[in-house]
Chains A and B, each alone.
Chain A
Amino acid sequence: MPTKIRDFKYFEKISEFSLAIVFLFEVLIFSQLSPFFFSADNLLNVTLQASITAIIAAGMTFVILTAGIDLSVGSLVAFAGVLTTSMLKISMPLYLVFPMALLGGILFGVVSGGIAGVFVTKFRITPFIVTLALMTIWRGASFVYTGGRPVWELPDAFSFLGAGRILGIPFPTIIMVVVFVISHIVLTKTKFGRYVYAVGGNLEAARLAGINTNFILTSVYIISGVLSAISGILLASRVNSGQPNAGLMYELDVIAAVVVGGTSLFGGRGTIIGTFIGAMLIAVLKNGLNLLNVGSYVQQIVVGVVILLAVLLDQLRQK
């Protein structure tokens, strides 16, 4: 069946670029409709707005590639935020408090991801339920920990992380690019990345091929936890306070970005570049609609329709 195989490859090659083409098309339309869209300021603004969810989406890509899901990311953003900000208020020299607070937030991401990993691998509970439970636990913990009040009056230097710029580029944007570059390299060039695809493609086959599947599965939840915590810290810095209700519903935005980016919820198929384009596609859409003065209610409808269309495109590619 040589013809059949050739046809298949041809089709696949087209669709690998299809998402990027849709994205460019979208950029083109908005640049025509709004004179402000293509300004450097606006484009950097888009990346800044996208950065928080995009960083989490990179972690979520790892999880979804293993056929898992992490619903706890939004609550992790909140708890990491209030934890770090409250640690910043400890009365010690700044050069000590700063690394401690950041490390504390990130360490929390490791712990939460580790807990999810243990429940998924050792107790064999489905990721959906495990992370659903963690989602409500950390959300509740954020409110209990802060007494429901935001953490205010932070050291001035802290605001650099979320609002600062290096050579005019927003710091969160830089973090986002670094995260995506590293994630891409890990997934495409390392053993670990290869194993992530294998575990997601066929868990039992992966185990029988000699892969430590429990290690891989636990690791992806830790990666997701850490990146969520980083996002939480960046967000807290940007709004200059630790908000217990930060990151509400982020899990849905993040999953949307990953799925629009072509990663299969059944695992084993998807790319980090796809996720990046997916996150940008949604961010540009929201930005463009804002510039065109489309109300936020209508925006929700448009974003939903775009998600459906993107997934439909992916489904057609599968056929």
Chain B
Amino acid sequence: MENISKRYPGVLALDDVSFDLGKGEVHCLLGENGAGKSTLMKILSGALVKDDGNIFIEENAVNYHSPSEAQKLGIGIIYQDFKLIPELTAADNIFLGSEIIKNSFSFLDKEKMNEFALKALEELGEEIPADIPVNKLSVAQRQMIEIAKATQRNIRILAMDEPTASLTNSEIENLFKVIRKLKSRGVGIIYISHRLEEIFEIGDRVTVMRDGKKIITSSIKDTGIKELIKQMVGRELASEFPEHTAIMGEEILNLENINGGKLTDINLKLHRGEILGLAGLVGAGRSEVARVIFGADKIESGKIKLEGKAQKFRYPKDAINSGIALLTEDRNLYGLFMERSIRENVSVSNLSPLMKGIFIDKVEEKKAVGKYFDQLQIKAPTQETKVENLSGGNRQKVVLARWLHTNSKIIIFDEPTAGIDIGVKFEIYNLINRLVERGIGVIIISSELPELIGIADRIVVMCEGRISGELQKKDFSQEKILKLATQNPEKTYAH
């Protein structure tokens, strides 16, 4: 790709960017949100049309205007939010648009498609049933189906946007194996990720983008994490994780023998001023614990004690009234009202103090929201800005502001920095530190182990709906966490 430019009204999204990819190479693409990575990938995949510049494949200039044309040229892309059709099976998805047909009535040859799908998945080292709807499968499995979909179409160039965003470490390892396999077949891979460690593990070369421009391309061997962060952010960051001193107070939350849904015998304690990390593989039941505490899911047995008193939360409303807050993993889907203003998104959970009779007192509301708007340094023109126009980090701040406005005593963060820029991540960690300094108890669910190790005071590890172990700060290590995360206590005891 040479001298690619793309303009939007008022914004130059890509400014004269050149990018090249070799056969069997993994070329990483780095940059904060809005740096232009996605725009570049969308142009490559035909989803967007470039304003300027040329694209060459094996030295032939190519010109295409749609994703289907790009696919014919062997260009595949896997988006962060997959483009699978949830109700269809793996086989149906893999062959979507290129179905195998039997007999002259154009009936679908389901057996053959299933067979080929299984084979394609097997080649990737995966055993995934090809005949159940993909929405019944895990995120990692769905991703493998995306990859199988691409390989089935004989792609030569595969772009992956944040492929590890919601994978656990073992799943990431598996993904890397698959990527290496693709490499050996001569597929060129463009790898977009926020996780720098990964890039050093899998990448051959790396290109950093910032504000729509290419900043640097270099061989992975010739660069380091610090250097890359500096190029991405445009300045130096002191450390990835800010320090905080834990001043643990009395117990604030106590789960006793919780059973229900996926969860078995959950015992968990949280103290004032403590950051408790909740680790485990995706699907281990971490988010379910959060939902139970928050009253979003019902429990079959067990007790939830808040400051020593047993509580029954039938709805999130009850939990919120008791001072519990949940920042969901997918803020766009479960946290925010995209078309409404920052103001309305912040005040929604606690309008009562802002009422004048039956009417909402807008002056008071603006004052209350304005406080958090300044305190959290939400970057937006005004608090009337619609949330859909904010970046991921600022959206997270809006949700946090909501829960500060409800005077939460316990705040649960589910993947607090997923899809958030490095610079803003640091800010979020700082905010969390300030929360615990004020005596708030914080639970953090994260699949990024360095993040948990960096900020938690204590880590509880889950495996298959049970708690498999607990680590104190001095014992933190990725290996120990992983070992506990893959070790179901029930099964171990059975031997």
Contacts and interface: CB of A to CB of B under 8 A. Distances in A.
Interface of A: 1-8, 185, 189-191, 194-195, 197-198, 201-202, 204-212, 268-269
A208 B360 contact: no
* 9 residue pairs, one from A and one from B, having the closest CB atoms: A3-B10, A201-B337, A210-B320, A210-B317, A189-B359, A209-B349, A210-B349, A191-B351, A4-B10
Contacts of A8: 389
Contacts of A198: 337, 340, 344, 348
B337 A208 contact: no
Contacts of B296: 207-208
Contacts of B334: 202, 204-205, 208
B335 A1 contact: no
B359 A2 contact: no
Nearest to A268: B339
Given A201-B337, A210-B316, A210-B317, A194 B11 contact: no
Contacts of A206: 337, 348
Nearest to A193: B360
For chain B, give the interface size range: 35 or more
A262 to B, nearest CB: 13
29 contacts: A1-B10, A1-B11, A1-B34, A2-B381, A4-B8, A4-B11, A5-B385, A6-B381, A194-B360, A197-B337, A197-B340, A197-B344, A198-B337, A201-B339, A201-B340, A202-B333, A205-B333, A205-B336, A205-B337, A206-B337, A207-B315, A208-B328, A209-B349, A210-B317, A210-B320, A210-B321, A210-B349, A211-B348, A268-B340
A7 B9 contact: yes
A194 B343 CA distance: 11
Contacts of B294: 208
Given A8-B389, A208-B335, A212-B317, A190 B328 contact: no
A204 B9 contact: no
Interface of B is mostly: loop
Contacts of A202: 333-334, 336-338
A209 B10 contact: no
Contacts of B458: none
Contacts of B351: 191, 194
A191 B347 CA distance: 10
Interface in B312-363: 315-317, 320-321, 326, 328, 333-340, 344, 348-349, 351, 355, 358-360
Contact of B358 (A6, A190, A208, A210): A190
A3 B12 CA distance: 11
Contacts of A207: 296, 315-316
A205 B10 contact: no
A3 B385 CA distance: 14
Q: Which of A6, A204, A209 has the most CB of B within 10 A?
A: A209
A204 B219 CA distance: 45
Contact of B333 (A5, A197, A204): A204
Interface string B1-33: 000000011110000000000000000000000
A208 B326 contact: yes
Contacts of A209: 316, 320, 348-349, 402
A211 B358 CA distance: 17
B428 to A, nearest CB: 20
A94 to B, nearest CB: 35
B388 to A, nearest CB: 10
Nearest to B34: A1
A237 B328 CA distance: 53
Interface in B348-388: 348-349, 351, 355, 358-360, 381, 385
A152 B348 CA distance: 51
Given A208-B328, A209-B402, A268 B337 contact: yes
A207 B337 CA distance: 12
A315 to B, nearest CB: 15
Given A212-B315, A212-B317, 8 more contacts: A4-B11, A8-B389, A191-B360, A194-B351, A198-B340, A205-B336, A210-B406, A268-B340
Contacts of B10: 1, 3-4, 6-7
Nearest to B361: A189
